Structure 1
Amino acid sequence: MRAQRGGAISFDLPNLYSRPMRRRDPQDQPAEHAVEPAPPVASADTDLDVFAHLCREKAEADRQSAEEIVKAFRRLLKRTESPELRSRAVMAALGALEPGQLPEEMLRYALKLDTGMAPVSSFRRLIPIRRQRHHLGPFKLEGPLERKAVSARFAELCGIRVPASSLETRTLDELELHPGYAFKPTNAAGARGVMLCFEEQRVFRPKEQLWTDWGESVAMSREMLDEGRIETDEWVLEELVEDVAEQGPARDVKFYCFYGRVGLVLEIVRDPETRHCWWSRDGERIATGKYGDSAFAGVGVSDADVEMVERFSAEIPAPFMRIDFLHGRNGLVFGEMGAKPARYDRFDDETDRWLGDLWLEAEGRLLNDALAGQRFEALEAAQAIH
């Protein structure tokens, strides 16, 4: 491995999949029936070896680069007393180093110069940290909200409209045609297996972005069950919500919530193709570095909608939760919640830092409220029921 100027790293890795070559003297005569050595057989073990090697090389390169940055920082401190230059150096280092690579003296200078620690904030770092915190336990109060039955009951207790649904589950063979209903597996994520039935010949499958008829749609779901893409043969019926602006299934509106405050709103339509529109809390269309190739001009949500979602979010004892709604003809209808948005690592650096700041600020407010005796009674009641 060799570190190159400009930060690029060159890896001198053997090509484990290439045919080995042997040098031979031109005067050598090959044996009459000489057999060339067989190339290595590609396998999962070989792939793992290559992968592990790359990981070790990357970790070592990061360690060496961090050491060089810290050395350069110390040299700069010896050569200048300028607060401006020192401040710029600190901010550059904070943006380049992982939090665990920051030496104590650099943190001390950052606090002394009052530069703030904005480059350290990172939404993409906080998501896996949260998962590890839940793994360690014991605080998992908001975790059950990712179960649809709990979150729907919780929404009802908070005065949020939820779609009418059947209380009992059914097997796929027990499902009967009911225009005006959505048929959903109880444990499949990402709209897998969902069937939106407008009429017998007009059934929309959001996962596949496909219009089909009732019989074909049921057959497709049965195939998914047989292949294990839907784990359990349990289905519920929900009221079908039609779109606020077009004929067809309602668009999704996903609110990125930080304990009583909305940071981002993502609007998604799925027919005839999936398109995305990002909104700020104040109703301004923005770019986040994510889904830029499928952007469109959405219809947005009202100030009253945002305020309603913020009140709802304040009942959740978590610094971050994404709350999903359907935007129907009669307003927002609750869908589900998620603590780990898909592709959370795709935000650009500016958005990632901003969302990280919102998270950390929300964490502080939540801790203050908890120390002041704040109770989350609606959530406790929803968990008790389920």
Structure 2
Amino acid sequence: MREGFHLATKVARVITCEGDFDGAASRGAVAATVNSLELSGWVRDLASGASLQIHVEGEPERIRTFVDSLLSGRLIGELAHVHIANVACHGYTEFFLSSAGQQRPHNSLVSSLENTIPFLRRQFGEVVSTMVRVAWKADDDRLRRLVEKVPSEFISQRLLQFPGIRTQDAVASFSSSMWTQTLIRKKQSARIGYAPEDILADKQRGKEFARFLGMRCPATPQFNQPLEKLELRPGLAVKPSNAAGARGVFLIHSEDRIFSVRDKSVISSIAELRTEAAAFVAQKKEKDRWNTEEIVYGPNEEPASDLKFYCFYGEVPLVLEVIRTGRQNVRYWYDGKGAPVRTGKYDDTVLAASPIDRELLEFAGNISRKIPAPFIRIDFYRSEDGLVFGEFSPRPGGFHQFGVETDRLLGRHFVEAQARLFADMFDGDARFPEFRQFVAQNVPLKSKAGAAWTDVRKRVTSGLIALAMAGASLAFASEAEASSPGQTPPARAASTAR
């Protein structure tokens, strides 16, 4: 604990200074003073102009001495404005000069991680050891609530032997499952030519499969075209072929009203849109390949809200709704029963005013049951006439940002889905007829020259079973049974009162 005590005596401050001073000379003066006081951190110019930002950490008295020197005007001159904020220590061991726009020094971040992670592991280890000592005196519910707050990698085997703790509750993790599944998909593709999720993640093939299942999809007039060949007109969304999320997405509502989804700005002409799109390609180093897609509108001629269903082979425990209102996106979460819920992610917004329709949950769950994968997120637009398919996402962005409880909830659903998938694989050709037919008609497989489709299909089936077995090795005995096959898409989805 000596190291922990040493870290606890240090404090950190971020100081932002504005005034009429020379940037280079001021940075040098700051660095010299900080080094003389044996403090660490960094100093940099801000891109906004005559501003300097300083991060210092060390003993409180030494930092107070530095701040007094700065405020006196003797160090870099008179300042028009100074803002001082208390921040967490990063464990810097030196003081660095950093110019405007650059990231904090890489080697300092590495040093911070090397110092912080072992310390945190020891702290968690001591907490878990204490929990083990008191476990036999605590009631089941109190101990379970404590375990739910501890990340799974810090749970000890001794603690899991306590009668009140279920192993699956403590060790399941959606974030860890996503990384593991990514590796499994790569190995599967190398062996049999593809992974089901990767086929559907391709935007064009994903839409083709959605149409194959009878879902409504927005028209895609142009696909994977260079910017100069795009025919742009009102009513179209312009999207990079490979970028994820809202990066580089533009909505052409009219010739003089074009909306940039990422930065929430309004563009006044199609010519300006082309300039902005070209700048996006250059700055982000993206490929100059673009898709155009019909804009789906909701009530009042506003772009339809997004409904993102987290689907675990027939089960839908979580839904994200994104309502795009000009310069601000409003996000609502719903649980598996359609009730508003918080997840630890996007919790800066209010809870939804009303539940989401259970029919929508059942519809998305039935679609996911036709896909031989333990998890897929299915995105829809909520139009006035019902759901319109958006895309399939096997690894949603920000999946690591959920709170511990939600991460474990989704992790348990992932493991249970793997167990159900493993069991269903033994039904052979009777399972996933739509997906098998779609692959046979639309996906060229990596097979030996002259190999018959029957042989390829057998290898695909065995590969899917191997995938399920790899995941099921982590699974526990699930009480849930597979639900009945899917249903016909509703002609019109009920809208949620807001």
Same fold, judged at TM 0.5 (above): yes
Partners of 2:322 and 2:331 within 8 A in 1: yes
Moved more, 121-130 or 305-314: 121-130
SS of equivalent to 2:225: coil
Q: Partner residue of 2:108? A: 50
Aligned-residue offset at 1:333: 0.9
Choose which of 239, 248, 257 in structure 2 pairs with 1:202. 257
Q: Distance in 2 between matches of 1:299 and 1:114?
A: 34
Partners of 1:186 and 1:234 within 8 A in 2: yes
Moved more, 269-278 or 93-102: 93-102
Higher relative CO (Cα under 8 Å, sequence separation at least 6) belongs to: 1
- Verify: 1:10 aligned to 2:25, yes or no: no
Partners of 1:242 and 1:249 within 8 A in 2: yes
Q: Partner residue of 1:143? A: 198
Question: Matches of residues 1-386 of structure 1 in structure 2 within 5 Å?
Answer: 2=2, 10=8, 19-21=34-36, 41-42=96-97, 47-65=105-123, 67-69=125-127, 71-72=129-130, 75=133, 85=138, 87=140, 91=144, 94-95=147-148, 99-107=152-160, 109-110=161-162, 115=166, 117-137=168-188, 140-166=195-221, 168-212=223-267, 213-229=269-285, 231-243=286-298, 245-272=299-326, 273-295=328-350, 297=352, 301-373=356-428, 375-383=431-439, 385-386=442-443
Partners of 1:87 and 1:115 within 8 A in 2: no
Amino acid at match of 1:370: M
Amino acid at match of 1:176: E
Aligned-residue offset at 1:268: 0.9
Q: CA offsets, 1:69-128, max 9 Å, x none?
A: 565466558xx6x6xx38568647744655455554443x24x55645413323233223
Partners of 1:254 and 1:322 within 8 A in 2: yes
Q: What is the TM-score normalised by the length of structure 1? A: 0.78
Moved more, 277-286 or 148-157: 277-286
In structure 2, relative to structure 1, the CA distance for the partners of 1:14 and 1:375 (3 Å cut) is same
Aligned-residue offset at 1:221: 0.9
In structure 2, relative to structure 1, the CA distance for the partners of 1:89 and 1:13 (3 Å cut) is same
For the aligned residue pairs, the C-alpha RMSD in angstroms reads 3.7
SS of equivalent to 2:181: helix
Q: Distance in 2 between matches of 1:346 and 1:22?
A: 38
Q: Partner residue of 2:88? A: none
Amino acid at match of 2:318: L
Aligned-residue offset at 1:232: 2.2
SS of equivalent to 1:246: helix
Aligned-residue offset at 1:45: 12
In structure 2, relative to structure 1, the CA distance for the partners of 1:266 and 1:103 (3 Å cut) is closer
Q: CA offsets, 1:140-185, max 9 Å, x none?
A: 3322322111211121122211112236543222223422222322
Q: Distance in 2 between matches of 1:141 and 1:324?
A: 17
Aligned-residue offset at 1:298: 6.8
Note the residue ranges of structure 2 that are not aligned, 5 or more in a row. Answer: 14-30, 39-93, 444-498
In structure 2, relative to structure 1, the CA distance for the partners of 1:66 and 1:156 (3 Å cut) is same
Note the residue ranges of structure 1 that are not aligned, 5 or more in a row. Answer: 24-38
Amino acid at match of 1:128: W
Amino acid at match of 1:376: F
Q: What is the TM-score normalised by the length of structure 2? A: 0.62
Partners of 2:376 and 2:392 within 8 A in 1: yes
Aligned-residue offset at 1:363: 1.8
Q: Distance in 2 between matches of 1:97 and 1:163?
A: 44
Q: Partner residue of 1:27? A: none
State percent identity of aligned pairs. Answer: 30
Moved more, 278-287 or 309-318: 278-287
SS of equivalent to 1:290: coil
SS of equivalent to 1:317: coil
